[in-house]
Chain A
Amino acid sequence: MNSHRVYRQWLIWYVSGELPVNQARALRHHLDSCPVCARWFEEQLELWRMLSEWRLPEVTVASNRELEWRLELERSRGSSHAVAYGAAEWAPWRLVVAAAVTCALALVLSLPNRPGVATRSEPGTLVELERIEQVLEDLEMLQQLDLGLDEPGAGPQVSTVGTGV
């Protein structure tokens, strides 16, 4: 009968702790009399536990600094904005700090294959600076295109959203 599917759907919410108490009671009652769903439940519970085993480490300080550096660059480029990251007013010393951070970051990233560090980019090189400049220009272009990112719910739609469900 179709009700098995309903109970199985409930089982997922039960395992994640989201099933209301009265439905949980009905579910337990069903499992007592349905070995097929009981077995399914055991597998679902084990699946939930297995998924929990996939844990990730903390994000490294180096990658945080890369973003801060990019934002710093952005701030210094976009000083025409009234509100800017880091300070409301132009402060040349920040460029010096940004340069120092960049050098430190380049040094850190040049260490061979440390786990947890994204090694694809090498901030501090001319190529990378040009690349970041390009990205920021692209971002400005994107902003001018007005993709609606400033409006929650109005982000750029992708074909899978809304139609793939």
Chain B
Amino acid sequence: MERAAVPNRDPDTHLMLTFQQGDPSSFTQLLTKYRQPVVHFFYRMIQDPAVAEELAQEVFLRIFHARARYVPKARFTTWLFRIATNLALNYLRDTRMEQCRERTTDVDTGELPWDLPDTSPTPEERLLREARVQEVRAAIASLPPTQRAAVIMHKYHDMEYREIAMVLGCSESAVKSLLYRAYENLRTRLVHLVRPGNAAGSLRR
């Protein structure tokens, strides 16, 4: 299943290997570079800031522990997101997301502490944007966990199908199909927010 990528040309794999050989600054560099993406991944998956922080720490502690036995077979980010995805899916399986779903589907519960402060110019626009973001969050939370992970990696982490396939341990075509179903679910759920004419003509430009 796992494809032989070109890990030697991956600078992060190189950092991991130098960390393995005893250079602690390499780990610090990896931590600096990937801590935020990993926390954001967990936040979008689980939508609980405290759990996101906790699981992100877990990822880096596991990498720290696994350094002695690290063998590069794929890009470092593939390995990183594979650990993160497994932790997130296990967490969701264990908690079944009930509380989170309740919270995110209730538009009136207000901002979670982790939303960006809104910079929309008018109060009306601010309210509209807030409502849209709430619905986006709820729609993503309503996806089955594997679809959710695929969408988050694809949309928010700019990962290609091939890498997502390696993270999820499935084929590239399975990922394409998974993403198609996920985006279709999101579109169906959010279609009432679509403003007709907004996107018209963009394709033909």
Instruction: Show the binding face of A for B, using Cβ within 8 Å.
Output: 8-9, 12, 14, 16, 18, 27-28, 31-32, 40-59, 63-64, 66-67, 70-71, 74, 81-88, 113, 115-121, 136, 139-140, 143, 149-162, 164-165
Contacts and interface: CB of A to CB of B under 8 A. Distances in A.
Contact of B136 (A51, A82, A139): A51
Given A82-B22, A83-B20, A165 B174 contact: yes
A151 B83 CA distance: 10
A81 B68 contact: yes
Interface in B49-106: 49-54, 56-57, 60-62, 64-74, 78-79, 82-83, 85-86, 89-90, 93
A55 B116 contact: yes
A56 B203 contact: no
A109 to B, nearest CB: 11
A156 B197 CA distance: 46
17 contacts: A12-B179, A40-B187, A43-B199, A46-B193, A47-B194, A51-B136, A64-B35, A67-B56, A71-B60, A139-B62, A140-B65, A143-B65, A149-B65, A152-B72, A153-B2, A156-B86, A158-B89
B14 interface: no
A116 B53 CA distance: 10
A165 B160 CA distance: 17
Contact of A45 (B132, B156, B176, B202): B202
A22 B92 CA distance: 40
Interface string B126-159: 0001001100110010001110000000111000
Interface residues of B, number: 93
B39 interface: yes
A53 B133 contact: yes
Nearest to A140: B65
B83 A155 contact: yes
Given A9-B176, A162-B169, A153 B24 contact: no
A155 B175 contact: no
A156 to B, nearest CB: 6
B27 A85 contact: yes
Nearest to A58: B36
A48 B31 CA distance: 30
